[in-house]
Chain A
Amino acid sequence: MTTAAPTVEAPRPARWPVFGAVSLAALVATQVFSFLTSPPDQNMGQLEKILYVHVPAAWVMFVCFAIVLVYSLRFLWKGREDDDLLAAAAAEVGAIFNGLTLVLGMIWGKPAWGVWWVWDARLTSTLVLFLVFVGYLALRAFVEDPQRRGQWSAAVGILGALNVPIVWMSVTWWRTLHQMPSSMRSMAKIYWVGMFANFGAFLLVMAYFIRRRYDAACTVRAAEHASQAAALGGLD
């Protein structure tokens, strides 16, 4: 081959399991912390506890899709396969947290609002975001050629990520059943502390998931490169 395709290297063994265990421990610790420190809300009572999973899940989903945006753009710019693989890993983890946000929101909605689901702008746009990234993942399974797959994925990934500000602003732009974002004034400090602590732990878990999915994808691609090279006339 005259033009060597940019190859992906198999990941080197690292201490990611340790990082994973620490992240999980941090998550348990922040959950216990927020459960023990937060008083019941004056209207919701103990229902406010779901703040510490629903809101961090939503924020982490936004972070994931921001990563998708950055690495999709970088892939289109530089054409490096590992950028595409990282974007895909972030999309996958983002879709998980997106689904989690929806489910936790529904579990909250039933006792708080009286309904599991309504088609207001916030819920609908969040569902659209979820479907776009499920579509993104399905698309990847259908396109065989890695460069093609990267290009198509990047296009869908960027469009999907542009939906994020719409989801975020939906409660401000439109009249919805979902409430507006809370502010430092509208929410007691102790709830904020619990929410941000859990957001930090969720971020660690997110980083761990993305890293492991990325490593797995790199391993698969490196094996594919190796078998191709072998088929084309032996390993160098």
Chain B
Amino acid sequence: MSKRNWAILVAVVLVATFGWLLYGGLDKNVVFFLTPKELLAKGDAGYDVPVRLGGLVKPGTVQWDEKTLHLQFEVTDDTSTVLVHETGAPPQMFQPGMGVVIEGKYGRDGVFEATNLMVKHSNEYHPPKPGEKPEEMYKTLIKGSTP
């Protein structure tokens, strides 16, 4: 191996180590969304600023008005819940118990006004239980308040 190649390899190792250290430092800061608990813990700083909120759609809280396109539901992380309001049709897979990430602002009236609603799918893949047909599953996706 030539001297030059050694130099290249050493340089690569150095840059890589440095890069890994940088990545390591990011560890806790790179957060795509806040949980309801974290948002509420921010207190005053959490109001009226654009944030992403993520959690599960609390079963039994979904209210969907097809005519006015008003969608309201609670997002929970098991310890805290935040009430979310959106105008517009939810994504196909939106349903009670599903993971969601919502972009918007938390208002002082205690309602998180969503500008964008995303579904966060879990890593679970299972065929429907016996008796359930996929067509029926689609129907139940946005049924409303009954989970």
Q: How far is the CA of A113 from the CA of B8 in the complex (A)?
A: 43
Which residues in B have their C-beta under 8 angstroms from that of A155?
A: 8, 11-12
Chain A residue nearest to B98 (CB atoms) is A43
Chain A residue nearest to B5 (CB atoms) is A76
A45:B19 contact, CB within 8 angstroms: no
The minimal Cβ–Cβ distance linking B27 to chain A, given in whole angstroms, is: 6
CB-CB contacts of A26-69 with B at 8 A, as 1s and 0s?
A: 00000000000001111111101001000000000000000000
Asked whether any CB of chain A lies closer than 8 Å to the CB of B4, the reply is yes
Which residues in A have their C-beta under 8 angstroms from that of B123?
A: 179-183, 186-187
How many residue pairs bridge A and B at CB < 8 Å? 130
Asked whether any CB of chain B lies closer than 8 Å to the CB of A8, the reply is no
Our pick among A118, A120, A191 for the contact of B125 (Cβ within 8 Å) is A191
B30:A42 contact, CB within 8 angstroms: no
Chain B residue nearest to A124 (CB atoms) is B30
Q: Give the interface of A toward B (CB within 8 A).
A: 39-46, 48, 51, 73, 76-79, 111-115, 118, 120-121, 151, 154-155, 158-159, 162, 166, 173-177, 179-183, 186-188, 190-191
A45:B117 contact, CB within 8 angstroms: no
Known A112-B93, A155-B12, A159-B16: A78·B1 in contact at CB below 8 Å: yes
A39:B119 contact, CB within 8 angstroms: no
A79:B1 contact, CB within 8 angstroms: yes
